[in-house]
Every structure is written in structure tokens, then in C-alpha cells.
Chain A
Amino acid sequence: MPIEFKKKPGIVAYLTAGDPDLATTREIALAAIDNGANVIELGVPFSDPLADGPVIQRASQRAVARGVRLTDVLEVARQLRAARPACGLVVFSYLNPVVRMGMKNFCAAAAAAGADGVLLTDMIVEEAGEYLAEMKANGLAPIFLAAPTSPDARLKAIAEASEGFVYAISRVGITGTQQNVAGDASQLVARLRAFTEPRGIPIAVGFGISNAEHVRAVAEFADAAVIGSALVAMIEITKPSQAPAAIGRFIAGLRA
């Protein structure tokens, strides 16, 4: 399973697939991988991204307007897998497009495309029984979110249900950049460690991580940092032809 963070801190790069277009998303992802991203999260654009801040909302809206579908995102995953056999690949989606495709069909298609794992924003462990069974049957890693508001009993369930890594949300709130990495994050990771360590599951911290300073701060206590809105915002203001190089330079600078 290629979800590995050999070089610490690991870098997980989130991209809203299909913004500005699918071919550019693929090129940006390749540039991110070649400049040190360990895992690419391919975000499936959704009409109602209620956990996302304005940056990813706008990117989703643009991609949905272009008609980008879950099947298109899986095709990008397939191309990335063919081009970079060793990179980590996670499909990141809200639940409804997956439900519409059918849980069984989706898991089979994601595995066939070469994805390593799946993160469903609005799927919680209590509701995940059948989802987990399908993921397991297809050899996919289910990645769950852990929040500062999650009590220890939930963190335990999340750590036990997750494979690949656990995504620790740095603060209460929606996605988007912030000035500093919240104090919430280190406390959450410390609580979560008690449950992930016995299983050897790494912890990635995301939400509001936007520069090298943040990545250094996260590296003090977590295994990887997730960069999302910062990349999506950069893509929004960069010419598509220049976006892969710009994102590549940015990713390369994160471990500086």
C-alpha cells in the first residue's frame, strides 16, 4: 500500500479535481508528486460542499459547472496511478455522488482505478458498517476524520476503523487558510496517538495548513500535513498552463 510517509513530515496534497479542468488537475498532481507530495487527495467536486470554506466551494462550483463527475475523477486517478506507481492516491468525496454510483460499484471502481484509499467527508464511523465491508473487499483504505470535538471513545473507534492514515482536523470549522496552526491540533493528535500507535497508523493534520512554517509546526507532533485550500487558491489565480510548475515549486518549498 503506497500510503507511506517515509520522509517526515509527509505531505498530503488536496486538489479539487476538474478545476480548472481534468487534464490540468492531472498535470498539477504529477508536479506535486514529483516535488515531494506523498499522497494526492483527489477531491470530487460536489454541489453542496458544506464542510468547505469559500476557496474549495468556488473550485467545486466551477468544476460542477463544467460537468465533472465522479467517474471523471476516477479516470484521473487511473492516469495518475499509471504514471506514478508509487504515489499515494486517495479519493476524497462527499457521500451523495458515491451513493448515486452505488457503494459497491464505487469501491470496485476506485480500486480498479488504482486508488489506495477513500475519504468520505460526511461518513462517520457509526454509519460505516457496509461501507467498511465494501472497502475491505476491494483492498481500499478507509480514512476517517478526527475532530478536536471528538471525545476519546470516538477517537478510538476512528483509529480502529481507519487504514492508511487518520486525518486530524486542526481546529473546529470549515476548510480554509488561517494564520497559525491551532493549539487544538497538537492536543487532538496527542489524544489520538493512544489509539493509532498500537496499530501503526500515521496521523495527518489538515485544515488551515498553508505554508512551510505551518508544516514545520505540524511536523513537531504529527506524521504528515494536508495542504488543500492553499493549493486550490493558488490554482484559482494562476494560468492553467503555469499551474503545475507553480504548485510544484510551492510543494517543494514546504519542507524547506
Chain B
Amino acid sequence: MSVSASSELPVSSAVAARAGRFGVYGGRYVPETLVAALEELEQAYAAADADPAFHAELDDLLHHYCGRPTPLYFAKRMSEQLGGAKIYLKREDLLHTGAHKINNALGQGMLARRMGKRRIIAETGAGQHGVATATVCALFGMQCVIYMGEEDMRRQELNVFRMRLLGAEVRCVSTGSKTLKDAINEAMRDWVTNVRDTYYILGSALGAHPYPTMVRNFQRVIGREARAQILEQEGRLPTAIVACVGGGSNAIGIFYDFLGDKDVRLIGVEAGGRGTALGDHAARFQKENGGVPGVLQGTFSYVLQDEAGQIAATHSVSAGLDYASVGPEHAMLHDSCRAEYTSASDAEALAATSALARTEGILPALESAHAIAEAMKMAPKTAKTDILMVNLSGRGDKDMGILARELDLKGAKV
């Protein structure tokens, strides 16, 4: 009795109805050693989530320490220049540490403290989740080890310095593609080895149950705020919401409270990289040379892979989107067509970075610039009465090295 037509991993309807499943996607595919820890985490999270005192402290820290609520900003000049919809930016870039990642790191850090775990590990791609985790560990006085791919340490060097300044140990991962996927492998190896006293703060809505659900719930605050803010500022809901999708935590965070608003289009933007061939992008939902359902790092979702099931190399100018799989809830939203997924190339993201900087004085992270790029494509085709809401998930200070090179900021052209 399979409910899955597209996948090669038969999942019965009884399994699909279980906690941790998003349709046929999700689940818990891990080495046996980790199962007890995931069960402990699932129970501890359920208890914390049901505890008003936990939420009161989290809300208090999100407000006073992180700066929530973040503004919903009407980008008037950019909207006028593009000549279509009113563009609103959800300013997660203004959050403490510079990206939405702190919403989740703080929540999980509080959970780790509640569970009595004093050693924290995390993976990071662009370094934003690593910085957020290092920050929370500093705040709570916990030991912090961050795994980061060698390639990412090179291209996001400023965040490496930030993590070290915050007291974290950054461990360089030189295996495989030396990026986010390999950092997750190494973090999982650490967790398997030190599972009895270590808490793994996974940074995106990925991995084995309960992570995709828990991370989404910690990121839901983005959409909850944005929904109230747009109703207050415009008196109506947006036409579409646009967010970049690596693992997909900022996107699911802003999408979630709009899932029931059927007239609001939800648009995820993947990394189109430098081309459409396998290995040149991280667009898991791309029609040709895109991903097919498979199991990577604990969850069943779309995975970029070759015909033999080996995980494919990926490429993106943005380290945070440079990942072969995607959160399982996005896989479900893709198949059900509730959300649409498209991609922006490296060049489009770089151009969008420059455009937003010059029209609005806002420097987006290269990841978030993929969402800006899609909004820039959409806006001229929309009516002035339409509203596009873009999740500006992070700021671009970390990318100055890449931008200086790619946009020739050292040369005479500027």
C-alpha cells in the first residue's frame, strides 16, 4: 500500500501519517547509535514546547537579546524602479548575529541547557549558523565545536574569525566536497562518538526527526510576525512570498503561517549556480539534472545524485545554499504544488546584491540575494496593486571577500 509514486523508497500510508513525516518525506534514517538520542531529543523538545516558561524565556531573549520583532520594510525605491508590485523585505538581516539562524540556535541552545548537555556541536556552511551557535554557547557558558568545510572556511573567513572570537573551536572538514554536506557528516560522526554528553544543534530544517519539525517551529516566528505586520501595514496579505532555499529553514519559517492562505503564492529560490549540469548548481527541484528522492543525512527528500545513488557535487556562489539535499517539508510542498520552486544563478544573485545595495542601501547575504533576484524578475510582470514579500534572511558583510572579487570592487570601475 504505497502512497508514493515518485520515490523508490516505499513508504506506506501508515508510515506517512507518523510524526516526523511530511507526506512520504522525512523520517529517521540514521545509524542505530543515534536513535536513542533522537528519541530523547524528541521527548525533551515536546516537553519544552508544552512549557509556557520555556516559550516565555525564548520570547524574552528573542526580543531583548536578538532584537525581534524584525521590521517589515517597504522597499519603495526598488519597487518604483521595477515598476510593478510593492516589495516588502522581512528584515532578518537586522537580527543579532546578522541572519535568521539565531532563532533556531537560541531555541535549541535553551533545549540543550534544559537537557543538561554542556557540550554543543554544530555544522555550518556560510558560517551564519556557526556564528549563531557560538553566540548562544557564549551566552549560556557552554562548550562549542563547529564543523565547517575547508572550502567554506576559505570563502567565509570572516565568520570563522567571529566564531573563534566568540570562544568556539572551528574544526576544518577536508573530506568530500569540503562544504556543508561534509561538515554535517563530520558533525554526525562527532555526535555518534560523543552522543552521551553532546547536543547537536542542526542548523536547518533537515536531518532525522525531530529536527525538521523542531527547526521549522523555531523559525516560524518569521512568518508569524510578517503576517501580522503586512496586515497592519497594508490591511491584506501579500500576493507572493519569496525566500531562498538551501536546507530551507528561513523559507519554511516564513512560509509556514501562510500555508493556509491559499491565495498567497509561496516561492522558494534555489541556487542555480553556474549552469544546469549536475555539479554546477544546487537546484534540487530543477526539472532536468535536478534531484530525485533519496536518503541523505537522516532524511528522505530530494537529493542531487548520480544514477548509482552517489551524492553529487554542488556549486553555488553562496555557501549557505550549496547543499545536495533539501528539507523534507519542502519536498512535500513541492510535490503538492503548494509552494513553487525556482532558481537564481550566481550571476543573478550577484547582480541582485548590487541592485539592493544601490537602491535601498541594504547589503543582503548572497543567499538572500537569490530571493531578491527572483523578486526582481517577478516584479515587472506584476501589477502595482500586488505585494511581494521577500525574506531577507541575512546580511552580506560576511561576503565582502567574494563581492570584492566578483563585483570588481577593488578596480577602477567603482
Contact = CB atoms under 8 A, between A and B. Distances in A.
Given A96-B311, A130-B11, A173-B192, A149 B296 contact: no
A169 B9 CA distance: 26
A149 B195 contact: yes
A97 B309 contact: yes
A252 B11 CA distance: 44
B77 interface: no
B36 A149 contact: yes
Given A100-B294, A124-B29, A149-B36, A48 B181 contact: yes
| Chain A interface residue bracket vs B | 35 or more
Contacts of A101: 8, 309
Given A96-B303, A97-B310, A103 B296 contact: no
Interface string A168-208: 01001110000000000000000000000000000000000
Interface stretch (A24-32, A139-147, A229-237): A139-147
A53 B295 CA distance: 20
Given A50-B188, A96-B303, A130-B10, A150 B32 contact: yes
B189 interface: yes
A231 B377 CA distance: 56
A129 to B, nearest CB: 6
A86 interface: no
B70 interface: no
A99 B8 contact: yes
B341 to A, nearest CB: 21
A151 B185 contact: no
Contacts of B310: 46-47, 64, 97
Given A96-B294, A96-B305, A149-B195, A50 B32 contact: no
Interface in A61-84: 61, 64, 69-71
Nearest to B177: A47
Given A122-B31, A149-B33, A48 B10 contact: no
Given A70-B308, A124-B28, A147-B32, A174 B192 contact: yes
Contact of B33 (A102, A103, A169): A169
Nearest to A144: B32
B8 A102 contact: yes
A160 B402 CA distance: 55
Contacts of A46: 309-310
| Chain B interface residue bracket vs A | 35 or more
B12 A129 contact: yes
Contacts of A102: 8
Contacts of A149: 32-37, 195-196
A127 B29 contact: yes
Which of B2, B8, B181, B297: most chain A Cβ within 10 A?
A: B8
A123 interface: yes
Contact of B176 (A47, A51, A53, A95): A47
Contact of B298 (A97, A122, A154): A122
Contacts of B35: 124, 147, 149-150, 154
A50 B182 CA distance: 9
A146 B185 contact: no
B33 A100 contact: no
Nearest to B193: A173
Interface in A9-49: 46-49
Contact of A48 (B192, B193, B296, B308): B296
Given A124-B29, A130-B12, A95 B36 contact: no
B175 interface: yes
Contacts of B84: none
B36 A100 contact: no
Given A127-B29, A158-B32, A122 B295 contact: yes
B12 A99 contact: no
B307 interface: yes
B30 A124 contact: yes
A122 B175 contact: no
Nearest to B310: A47
Interface in B327-359: none
Nearest to A174: B189
19 contacts: A47-B176, A48-B182, A51-B192, A57-B175, A95-B9, A95-B29, A99-B300, A100-B8, A100-B307, A102-B8, A103-B10, A124-B28, A129-B12, A130-B2, A134-B10, A149-B35, A149-B37, A172-B195, A173-B193
A-B pairs, 10 with minimum CB distance: A100-B309, A97-B309, A69-B308, A147-B33, A130-B10, A173-B193, A102-B8, A145-B32, A51-B31, A149-B36
Given A124-B35, A149-B32, A173-B192, 8 more contacts: A61-B176, A96-B309, A99-B294, A100-B294, A126-B28, A150-B33, A150-B35, A173-B193
